[in-house]
Amino acid sequence: MPDIYIKNTKIYYNNSLQPAEIIIENGKIKKIGKDFRISSSDMVIDARGALTLPAGIDVHVHFREPGMTLKENWYTGSCSAAAGGIATVIDQPNTVPPTTDRRSFEQKLKLARNKSIVDFGINGGVTGNIEKLKELWRLGVTAFGEIFMAESTGGLNINDETFEEALAEIKKLGALATIHAEDEKMRLELEQLLKDDVSYEYHSKVRPNACEASAVQSALELISKLQVRAHFCHLSTLEAVGMVRKEKYLAKRDDKKPLFTCEVTPHHLFLSTKDWERLRAFGKMNPPLRGSHSIKALVNGLNDGTIDMVASDHAPHLESEKDLDIRFAPSGVPGVETLMPLMLAAVKKNILLLSRMIMVTSRNPAKAFGLDLLGKGKLEVGFDADLMIVNPRNLQPIRAEMLHSKAGWTPFEGMDAVFPQYTLSRGEVLWTEECINAKPGRGNFLEGGGKKSKEEYEEDDENSEEAGSD
């Protein structure tokens, strides 16, 4: 008897939407087909013609725990994810304390295991802790970063020398470096130059397109030099998209796989400098809001494969914290719950194809971060039953009171969205139209590629010593 039988649904298969039924057993997709003769099951979901899609994977969230739980915690953040059709998240290291050693990693892991309702990975922080990266990799971090090339929330930015040392060590470990690319020297110079600017646009001026472009260029040169696997967080500019497109073209020409992937956020796709007047400091994030030419480049890059994935950079702050002068308000906006609904609305508006949306919200993130090896990212037999059921006709405006983040507000207020009717994680229903059904702590920790037993590492170390003495 199957655990869940989904009937009267449609799935995207062979480049078209097709009627289907799905059988889920032991948390996995057991069968996909038509006209199954099922006498009974633990649960029958009648989709009534709605689509069943892979649940989203958000590789860039800040759930703020430990240390900043007034803003968010693992339970509220993961509920927000589930209500938006996200079944897997990767948390960033700039918490209090930052995730930069064994003690801080184990502290965060314990909290997440006790509270998260979605499956999760944890990234390791990079500061002056180069000697700790090997230990973090062996503990099971998903990747390293985001590595801050410029100042941002948490103050984890590093200088050029430390950046290169970190990338060299990450290469040695066979791990993935995730990069927040902004030029700190340029930012500081412009901050001083624009010290008398009192406009809300100040934040976009002090971190202009050139600030990101310069940092991306420097990072690309180091990636090539060291041959390290890397991922660019939240690309936001016309110039950066052009650089990435050129590098990917050259790799393809030479019949090589690109060493890097990149992401874009919904706030850089759907908000712009025109929103400063409406949002004021609530629109402050790093990198900042951009102009229409950059937004067009980002949409084109997402459609043509230059940009690999969409991630929310969910970075919640309370309204009272954001309702300040632009210089003093913290950077960051909530977004994990609105990522998939906004992307589904973009499909409905013909901004991108459904097939591409599926790639950039599930399959590509899973592959880039090694989660496909853990059964994530595909609506296929044998993979985890991480699914969302949506009716694309149910377009509705986003309202802050609908959402589950502690932030209590959204920069996307009033914008069109398509929210899920169901969200499933490993065959368990987390969300059914306005109701969270999961208990805290049911989410699994998804161990990174460096996680091995103590005995395995001791054997590896002995083999390395023997090889070095030959």
What is the rounded CA–CA span in Å between residue 277 and residue 295?
Answer: 18
> Do the Cβ atoms of 91 and 108 come closer than 8 Å?
yes
DSSP secondary structure letters along 439-465: -TT-PPB---TT---HHHHHHHHHHHH
Q: 440: closest CA among 172, 49, 106, 112? A: 112
Amino acid in position 328 = F
Phi-psi region of 382 (alpha: psi -120 to 50; beta: other; left: phi over 0): left
Residue 299 token pair: 């949409």
Residues paired with 176 in a beta bridge: 229
- Feature table: binding site for Zn(2+): 60, 62, 146, 180, 234, 313
Rg (CA), the chain: 22
CB atoms within 10 A of CB 278: 13
11, amino acid identity: I
Please confirm, yes or no, whether 160 is among the known catalytic residues: no
Which of 313, 372, 384, 386 does the annotation list as catalytic? 313
Q: CB under 8 Å to 427, separation ≥6 — which residues?
A: 3, 4, 24, 25, 26, 27, 28, 384, 385
H/E segment holding residue 75: helix 74-83
* Angle made by CA atoms 301, 305, 311, in degrees to the nearest 5: 75
Contact indicator for 438, 37 with CB cutoff of 8 Å = no
- Of 143, 163, 55, 166, the C-alpha closest to 91 is 143
The owner of tokens 């409406």 is: 278
> 197 burial class (0-12, 13-18, 19+ CB within 10 angstroms)?
middle
Helix-, strand-, coil-residue percentages of the chain, each rounded to 5? 40, 20, 40
Cα–Cα dist 17/383, whole Å: 20
> Is 130 in contact with 165 (CB distance < 8 Å)?
yes
Q: Which residues are catalytic?
A: 313
